Amino acid sequence: MKVLVANLGSTSFKYRLFDMPAEVQLARGGIDRIGEEQSHCFVEIGEHREEHEQNVPDHAAAVNLCLSQLTNPEWGCLDSADEVAGIGFKAVFAGNLSGIRLVDEELLTKMEALADIAPAHNPPYARAMRQLRQAFPEIPLVAALETAFHETIPPENRTYAIPFEWQEEYEVKRWGFHGASHRYIGSRMAELTGKDDLKVISCHLGGSSSLCAMQGGVSKANSLGMSPQTGLPHNNRVGDFDPFALPVLMKATGKSLAELLEDLSSKGGLLGMSGLSGDCRDLEEAAANGHERAQTALGVFHSAIRHYLGAYLTVLGGADAIVFTGGIGENSVSLREKVCSNLEWAGIRLDAERNKSASDEAQIQADDSNVQIWVVPTNEEIVVGRQTVETIEGRS
């Protein structure tokens, strides 16, 4: 069964094609700057790789281009687009319509209604799904909601201290996100260790970041709350923030609530604190050269990670493993060192040399550490691919 997994942005479409259930990746590609005069397109199929510029007006056109690449008579991997059994989406938020679902009008309407919760994600996904349903009605579309993995979180770790009816009537709770990534880390750690009852703290650190406490591959807590704007500071998103500061800012700046929320979701985080960049690589370089605001931004980020790490040691009653994943978690030697420093009291001791030389999947704890420390590249796409297959097969 050939399954296409799509990762969408407002002006981007990235994909991977898998042969399931063997989980063999047949192709990967993407289109950036969709809707602009010239879009950047790339594709990798076997030994073939190419990049070019062309006009791609919308996401339906992007999928058409993707299918034409996959069926190219010279270097494609499919004889016909009919071989694609389904398209899976790493969708973000639909409130109580969580889980893994076939895309239908009810789901699309709910995603559009909740666009304020995930403004960077819901609008492009809903728009693209509508375009694709119309353009390719014969191909099943499957939405793997990021909140699905966190449905196992117990009420004490999921409930805000708010009027009860807000949760019941308006779906205000700690939903949790990055579900595909944390799910992958949970299952991969069981494979790597041969144990399926591990207490794992998964640190997904990248453009957006979260920590997840898992036991036996089951989510027990996640640092993201009602929206993907919360928890840790992100590249340009604020993270945890006191809502009672908003009236003060409205009076002081003359800005509306909508304008301030836009600032918090696009001008906050590492970018807002540093005034320089939301990219940890830029900040680490600047901090090393004495840039004080870059140093402060990184310090706040490291402290927030340690805050949730300590909390999740309490949630789980200790940990068997701490896993760093995501673009920052996998690549930042200094971040892993800062996060794990002075945690010997919790049985956590990093080996400096192993940390520096870590690549791909690697253990980086010291020999006398009671807790394993891992670097494990995540694979959200294969998780969505598996879920897409299960949903399509369950439909038949």
The answer on whether 331 is annotated among ligand-binding residues is: yes
The answer on whether 380 is annotated among ligand-binding residues is: yes
The answer on whether 292 is annotated among ligand-binding residues is: no
Q: How far is CA 148 from CA 158, 169, 310, 325, in A?
A: 13, 20, 25, 20
| Alpha carbons 5 and 128: distance in angstroms, whole number | 13
H or E element that contains 182: helix 179-193
Q: Which two tokens stand for residue 197?
A: 């009852």
The answer on whether 254 is annotated among ligand-binding residues is: no
The answer on whether 299 is annotated among ligand-binding residues is: no
Q: How far is CA 189 from CA 21, 202, 382, in A?
A: 20, 10, 15
153: left (phi over 0), alpha (psi -120 to 50) or beta: beta
Locus of tokens 């009852």: 197
The answer on whether 222 is annotated among ligand-binding residues is: no
| Alpha carbons 304 and 88: distance in angstroms, whole number | 33
The answer on whether 370 is annotated among ligand-binding residues is: no
Q: Which two tokens stand for residue 201?
A: 């703290």
| Alpha carbons 316 and 320: distance in angstroms, whole number | 10
387 contact partners, CB below 8 Å, separation of at least 6:
88, 100, 142, 144
Q: Cα 333 from chain centroid? A: 21
Strands lying side by side in the sheet with 84-89 = 48-54, 39-45, 24-32, 12-19, 2-9, 84-89, 141-144, 100-102
The answer on whether 328 is annotated among ligand-binding residues is: yes
- Residue 11 near residue 387 (C-beta atoms within 8 A): no
Q: What one-character DSSP code corresponds to residue 383?
A: H
The answer on whether 280 is annotated among ligand-binding residues is: yes
Q: Cα 295 from chain centroid? A: 25
The answer on whether 14 is annotated among ligand-binding residues is: yes
The answer on whether 344 is annotated among ligand-binding residues is: no
Burial of 5 by CB count in 10 Å (0-12 exposed, 13-18 middle, 19+ buried)? Answer: buried
Q: Which two tokens stand for residue 125?
A: 């996904």
- Please tell me whether residue 82 adopts helix, strand or coil conformation: helix
Amino acid identity, position 386:
R
Annotated binding site for Mg(2+): 7, 380
Per the annotation, binding residues are: 7, 14, 279-281, 327-331, 380
Binding residue numbers for ATP: 14, 279-281, 327-331
